[in-house]
Each structure stands twice: as structure tokens, then as C-alpha cells.
Structure 1
């Protein structure tokens, strides 16, 4: 590899002979303003500023998600409003820390709440936030479902995120967003096992009732069909609850197999057709038990405000 950059100039060096931070940032395609020291503290970068393939994949996912979240924050923050964001299933809080570093830090207002069930990860995030001076980051050791009623949480949130919140934790994040009247939700579901389990339990009955059951007769198809149905039901549920929903890819499939991104923006227009289709699909696939557990939606009365 040439020791010169694209412009034919020798990259700048620090006094110790190492590349200058701006050159490292350019080489790694980091976002403008991204703290290299933060990425080192998160162990995304090594002490020497190197990025291995696994870390590159993680950073790419978070950066792509940030591209969807940043415009939402900018729009909601117009007029100087202090925003609140909940990051569910936060894990090591890669997303929360990078959101704070790239957006919230410059705003000098607004708060991020990371919710995670694993106490050691919560403690590590609290320690890192204190070391970095990220005073408006908060971390709670609890489940997503528990956080909905937690006294430590604000009554309302502007944005709810969940990056690879496992199985029903994504549903709990949606329930949290509805309870907290979130203006936007950005979700990347993972390990959707609940519906697949229901399909397995009713497989024999379904095979005798409809040829569509062939779509999930084999175990691998049951798993994939369960995942697909789960996300379709979630989108209909959000639309029936007053959100405009967009579904797209997060990153290329070579970076993650759990790659579906659901972006929901609150409009207040509850779609009657979405509520009807939701109930029809629950019945068609023998998932009536989920109607009360996960997807409880009352059909809007004809002429109700917000009905479309």
C-alpha cells in the first residue's frame, strides 16, 4: 500500500510518529465529529486505532441506523426542544453512546436512557458515561417490559430505538413507545421465536385446514415464516395505532442476517384497514391468543377522528 494519500500527500503524523486523528478518521470512514477515544473505550477500535472485521460490521450497522435516526432528531428538535430517547436492549450501548457523541453532546440538552437486563453491562456503561462526561446518559438494569412502568423513566419519550432486541423485547419496545406516546420508533427486530412456537403448536390443525400451512410445515420454514409474520403483524399494529410505517434494509445482508429495519412516525391517523388485516391474519394463522397479549387493537368506529 502506498504511504501517500489519494491527493499524493504524505499523511500527517503526530509527534510520536502515529497517524493524526483526522487521518485515522478518514481511513476508517468515521462520521464527522466522531470521537476516536470513544470508539476505543467501546472496544470498537484498538488502542492503535485499528478496526477488525467484526468491529467494522458493528460500526457499519450503528452508523446506518444513525443515518435514519439523525433526521428524525433534527426534525423533532426544531425550535430548541430537548429530546428524550430510549434505547431498549442496549447491550454495550454502542448505539446510545454514538448517538450522544454525534448528536446530543452538541445540543447541550436532551437525554438518552439505555435499558438492559444484564447488570455488568449496565454498570460498565454507567462508568464509561461518567468518565466521558456524558451526564445526560442514563442506564437502567431492567427488562424492556419493566421499564414501561418504572418511576425512573420520564412520562413521555420522543424517540424509541431497539437494535436487535431479542424475540418479544421488540414487542415490549413497541408497547413502551405507545405508552410513552413516542413520536418515532426505529426498530431492528431479532430472534422472533414467539410466533414460530405458536405455528408449531397448531401445525397439524393448520395442515388439515389450509394449503397455506405448507409454507411452515418444515422446521426451517417455520422459523423463517414465524419471523416474517411477526414483523408484518408489528407493522400493521403500528399503523392501526396511528403510525406511518416504512420497512427497509438496515445494511447489506453480508453484514447481518437480522437486517430488517422498521421506522414508524406518529401521525395520529389510525388505519382501520390495518386493524382489520391484523385481526384477519391472527385468525388465518391460528394466532388468536396473541390478539390480547401483543396486538390488542380496537377497530376504529366509522367516522372517528384519525380513522383512515
Structure 2
């Protein structure tokens, strides 16, 4: 009996602490998990919010607003919404989405996919502690996840926040295979195209003055990043997605700030495929057509064809 009384008092204490945090920190939404916010270091251990964490909380809400609108657009189905978060890390994004949206739903599931086993284990422990029962954490690469029986055949929403280099492309490939209705991508460290631009730099400089745009190493990296994301947008459009590109947060917080939101419409654009192919050929990247950007067969395109891009 003494143990039960102690547990009862402990439970009352937790509820009181949560209520106090909501009362003293007006930014926190009613019903949010105070323990989760502490685990994410948004709240201090005594439930306080300093200026840095207040800014962090605003960024969390800003990102969630984008995703919440997409979740609300999805049609109702018995099994609920499925979301896969690639390169999940500590599953920061997945936990926030679950806490602010999935927790109040009776159905639906979030899958966190991460290659580091220690992070997967910590996420499993935290979800169990919080009672977030419709979350699974898988120790898989993005490529492995596309073939894994641990995930359903279809995923409604695919997210990849700061997935490094080609991991974003892997997440796109996963989304295409799983017939995702939405993809939310924040690319990071786009190095593959920059490496290839460096390999062909001397030849490019001999052919065109435009190669000055990526002659210096810093410019090569920036140009490679820009080209990579443009190619990804065209690739998504060629595969039937409507693409929106916007800022994630203010540039003062992160230089890796490009948010790509793709919504499946089924309208595969031949003009986008033609543009993508032309850009790859123009920059000496045609081999990527066999690896990263395998284009679908598109019989027609409702949009007017784009004018051809002449090779440099």
C-alpha cells in the first residue's frame, strides 16, 4: 500500500509539473509531453525555457506547421496515416510529429529509420517511456528500408531532415517505391555532384566561360549543391509530383535551409524529364541517369515543352 501511495503522489507531482510548465511557458501547447521537451533539451530539467530554447521551439513549430497541413490533407483510412522519417538520428522530428499530431489519433504509425544502433535503441526506450506506442525505430539504411518487411508496402509521408549527400536521393527513391503521397526533404552536404564537377573542371573551363561559376573549390561546392537540388525537383516532377521549394528557418540559423515539399498528383511531366536530362548532359553528369535519376517513360505532358538547352 505504501508503494501505491508513493506512486500516486509521484504521478500527481508529474501532472503538477506539467501544468506548471504550460502555465509558466505560454509557448508550450496544451497536452504536449513535458518529458519529451526536456529530452529534446527544449525545456530545462526544471521546466524552464531560456532564450535559445525558445527560438528552438519556434523552429520546431514552424517545421511542424508545414507537415501538419500535409497530414490533414490525407484521406481517412482504417489503418491511419503512415510516416517514415529517414536518417532519423535521435528521432527529434518523429517524436515532435507524434506528440503534436499522432498522439491524439487512434490509428497511424511513425517509422524512424536510422543506421546508428545506439540511437535506435535510445529512441525505442524513450517511446516506451512516453507511451508513444505507434512508433517503430528500425536500424536500417535508407536503401535497406525499401526492401524491409518491417515497413508496409505503402507510406503516406516520407521525411528526411538534413539527410547527408546521397541519403536524400535514397529517401526519394524510397518514397517513389512506397508510392508516397508527400515527401518533405531538407537536403544537406550535397557532395556527389560537386565531386563530379571537380573531376571535369579542366575540360569545362576549356569549353565555356560559364565554368568559372565552379572553378574555385568553394564555388564548386555551392554550385554542386544548387544543381543537386534542382535535379531532385525536376526528378520529382518527372515522376508525378508537384514541387514547392521554400525556406525551413531563417538563414541566420542554418545554411542548409532549403525545404523541398513534393505532393503526388500523378501528372508525370515529360518537360521536366527532358530538362533534367539536358542539365545532366550539359554539366557532364550524364552517368547519373543510370544511378540517381532513372527517368520514367512518359508518353505525354500537358505542359508546353521547354526549349532545348544547348550543351556548353
State the TM-score, normalizing by the size of structure 2. Answer: 0.87
The alpha-carbon deviation at position 298 of structure 1 amounts to 3.5
Q: CA RMSD in A?
A: 2.4
Count the aligned residue pairs.
292
Matched with 2:10 is none
**How many Å separate the matches in 1 of 2:253 and 2:277?**
35
Map 1:181-196 to 2 at 5 A.
181-196=179-194
Q: Deviations over 1:30-71 (max 9, x none)?
A: 344322221113333221123456645544433222111101
Change beyond 3 A, Cα 1:77–1:61? farther
Query: TM-score if structure 1 supplies the norm length?
Result: 0.88
Describe the shift of the 1:78–1:16 C-alpha distance in structure 2 as closer, same or farther (beyond 3 A).
Answer: closer
Partner of 1:9: none
- Structure 2 distance, partners of 1:243, 1:211, is 34
- Report how far residue 183 of structure 1 moved: 0.2
Q: 1:214 to 1:123 in 2, by over 3 A?
A: same
Q: Which moved more, 1:223-232 or 1:77-86?
A: 77-86
C-alpha distance in structure 2 between counterparts of 1:159 and 1:134, whole Å? 19
Quick check: 1:34–1:101 contact (8 Å CA) kept in 2?
yes
CA distance in 2, matches of 1:150, 1:169: 17
Q: Report if the CA contact (8 A) 2:21-2:48 is conserved.
A: no
State the distance in 1 between where 2:15 and 2:277 align. 66
- Give the deviation of 1:270 after TM superposition: 0.4
Structure 1 residue runs of 5 or longer lacking an equivalent are 1-13
Q: Deviations over 1:264-300 (max 9, x none)?
A: 0000000111000000000011111111110110351
CA contact (8 A) 1:271 1:307 kept: no
1:18 Cα deviation after fit: 11
Shift of 1:212: 1.5
Deviations 1:12-44 (A, max 9, x none): xx9999982222331xx2344322221113333
* Distance apart, 1:229 and its partner CA: 0.4
Contact 1:275/1:299 (8 A) holds in 2: no
The gaps in structure 2 that reach 5 residues or longer are 1-13, 306-312
Cα pair distance change 1:30/1:17, threshold 3 Å: closer
1: CA distance between counterparts of 2:54 and 2:206?
48
Q: Is the 1:25–1:36 Cα contact (8 Å) retained in structure 2?
A: no
* Structure 2 CA distance for aligned equivalents of residues 56 and 170 of structure 1: 29
In structure 2, relative to structure 1, the CA distance for the partners of 1:215 and 1:152 (3 Å cut) is same
Correspondences of 1:144-293 after superposition (within 5 Å):
144-293=142-291
2:97 aligned partner: 99
Contact in 1 for aligned 2:91/2:112 (Cα 8 Å): yes
Paired residues of 1:270 and 1:306 also in contact (CA < 8 A): no
The equivalent of 2:118 in structure 1 is 120
Work out the CA distance in 2 between the residues paired with 1:100 and 1:270.
32
